[in-house]
Chains A and B, each alone.
Chain A
C-alpha cells in the first residue's frame, strides 16, 4: 500500500503579516514556519494506515522553496518513510502547485491514497487536493472527519454545513482532504527528530516533470493589510441601558438587525 501525503509549509498563525516590497506577497523575514495544521491530520491518517498494513509506505511531498524541507523533516520525524521536495517558486498559484504535485505523483510506481489537509492556513484556497485529483483522474473527497476502511474501499464522513455530514464511498486510488475529527495527530519524539535529520529528501525539479510558470492561472497582486478601523462607539450605562442603547444602535443606526 503506497500512501502519499501532500503537506504545505505556512507561517505560524501567531504571525503578524507584513507586506513585501512589490505587494505581491508577505515579507517572510523572521517568520516562524509550521506545517499547515490540517495537513497534520493527513500525515497521521497515513501513519495509522501504515501501522495496520504490513509493508505499507508513507511518502510526504511538499512543493515550495528550499525552506519546506524543514517541514518535510517534521513529517519524517512523525514517522513518514520517504520525503519528496518539489522545487517550486514562492509565487506559484494553486494551479501550478497542483500540476507539479500531480506530475510528481504520476512518476511514482503506484499511488493508492493521497492525503491532504482540507485547506492551507495561509491562502485558504481549498483548491489543491481537488486539482491534483482531477489531474490524476481519480476521485477526491474533502473535509473528511472520519474514514472506515474495508479493503481498498473507503467510507468517508464529509462535513458540510449545519452540522450535517455526507457519507461518501470511494475506492483507491483516491485523494482525501482531512479535517479536524479525523484523528489526533501525534507529536514527534526527540529520537525520531534526530533520526529524521539524517533521512534523505528527494528533490524534484520542475523541468523534470514538465511544469513551468506557464501553468500559472492567476496572479496575486496589491496585497494590503485591512485599513485600520475607526474607533467604535462605546455604549455606557448599567446593563439595561447598555442593552437598550445597543439594540437601538443595531436596529436604527446600523440597520443590521
Chain B
C-alpha cells in the first residue's frame, strides 16, 4: 500500500474522466488515495472524486487559479505534494498534465515517467509501462532512488469503472501563495468542435486520402456523431488539406489508445500504425485487401468505404433506437 496523490484535472469546473481512471486504479490497488483539485470554485468535483474511490480530497482554490497556467498550477500541486508527502503522484497525459508534471517533478525532486499505458503498485513501488517510438515498442520504467515516483497516464489506458454514487467527499483545503508569477494567461480561445478530442475519445473514426476531399469527411463525421466518436485522419489526409493537423493520428501527430479505432481508407503506413496500434479493437475498412492496416485489424472489411460507412452509420442508428 502506498500514499498516492492523483491530480484531478478540470477546465471550467468540469473534471477529466482520465483523472478518475487514475483515482479508480489507485483505489482498486488498495492505496491511500488522495485527490488534489486545483482551480476556482471547484468544490463540486470533490464528490465525484470520492465516488471513484478517493479517500481524501484536497482543494486548492484561488481566483488566480481559475485558468490553468503551468506555473501557477505547478505552484499549487507542489504545495499540496509537500504538505501531504506521498510516495506516488499521478496525472493524466493530457495537454495540461504533460506540461505541468515535469515542472512539478523538478520542484519536488521526483522521478517522472510520462505517457504510461499501464501501472502496477507493489508495496510502495510504482511499476509503469510506456510506448516508445510512438508505439512501435514498449518499455518498462524502473524508478531509481527513493524520491517521489510520478507518472502521467494516457487517457483510456486504464479504463473507468462505474462510480459509487452513495459516497460523499471528505474534503479539506490547502492554500497556496501565488505571488510573483511570471506567466500570464490572456485568454482561452475555444475550439468550435462539439466532438471529443482524438486523444481522449473512447471511439475514433479516422480517414485517409481515399476520402478524396474535405467534404467527403462528412460521412465519417456522421458515423462519429452517431456513436459519440472523435474524427481522426492520416497524415496523407492532413497533408492534402482535408483535416487540420490537430486531428492527425500517427508518429508526427497524435498517439491514441481508444477502445475502438475505425480506420477508413487508411492503408497503414508504419508511422500511422505506430500512432494507433495500442487501441483495444481496431477496425479497417479499405478497398485494397493488401493494405498493411489489415495486419493489425481485429475486424476487416474489404470494400468501398463510400458505401460501407453510411450503411454502418444506419446500423448504429438502429441499435441506438
Bound pair: A and B? yes
Determine whether B115 belongs to the interface, using a CB cutoff of 8 Å to chain A. Answer: yes
B102 contacts across to A, CB distance below 8 A: 94, 126-131, 134
**What number of A residues sit within 8 Å (CB to CB) of B?**
79
A160 to B271, CA, bound (A): 22
Query: Which residue of chain A has its CB nearest to the CB of B278?
Result: A226
Q: Is A1 an interface residue (CB 8 A)?
A: no
* B281–A131 CB distance below 8 A: no
Contact between B107 and A134 (Cβ–Cβ < 8 Å)? yes
Is A190 on the interface with B (CB-CB < 8 A)?
Answer: no
Does A162 contact B197, Cβ atoms closer than 8 Å?
yes
Given A139-B182, A161-B200, the answer on whether A217 and B143 have CB atoms closer than 8 Å is yes
Instruction: Report the separation of the CA atoms of residues A11 and B288 in the bound assembly, to the nearest whole angstrom.
Output: 30
Expressed in whole angstroms, the Cα–Cα distance for A170 and B186 within the complex equals: 10
A93 to chain B, nearest CB (A): 9
Pairwise interchain contact A169-B137, C-beta atoms closer than 8 A? no
Count of chain A to chain B residue pairs whose CB atoms are closer than 8 Å in the complex: 251
The residue on B at minimum CB distance from A177 is B99
19 CB-based A-B contacts, threshold 8 Å: A14-B270, A131-B103, A131-B106, A142-B98, A160-B95, A161-B197, A162-B190, A165-B188, A167-B187, A169-B183, A217-B143, A218-B142, A220-B132, A222-B139, A225-B136, A225-B137, A225-B138, A239-B307, A248-B315
Interface of B with A (CB < 8 Å)? Answer: 67-71, 94-96, 98-99, 102-103, 105-107, 110-115, 131-145, 147, 182-193, 196-197, 199-200, 202-203, 227, 244-246, 251-252, 255, 259-260, 270-271, 274, 277-278, 280-284, 294-304, 307-308, 311-312, 314-316, 319
* Complex contact A171–B182 (CB within 8 A): yes
Q: Which residues of B contact A19 (CB under 8 A)?
A: 137
Residues of B within 8 A of A50 (CB): none
Q: How far is the CA of A140 from the CA of B70 in the complex (A)?
A: 8
**A138 CB–B CB distance under 8 Å:** yes
**Least distance between B250 CB and chain A CB atoms (Å):** 9
Least CB distance, A162 to chain B, in whole angstroms: 5
- Least Cβ distance of B260 to chain A in Å? 4
Measured between alpha carbons, how far is A234 from B187 in the docked complex, in Å? 49
Contacts of B69 in A (CB 8 A): 168
Interchain CB contact under 8 A, B283 and A243: no
Q: Are B299 and A233 in contact (CB under 8 A)?
A: yes
Minimum CB–CB distance for A201 against chain B, Å: 27
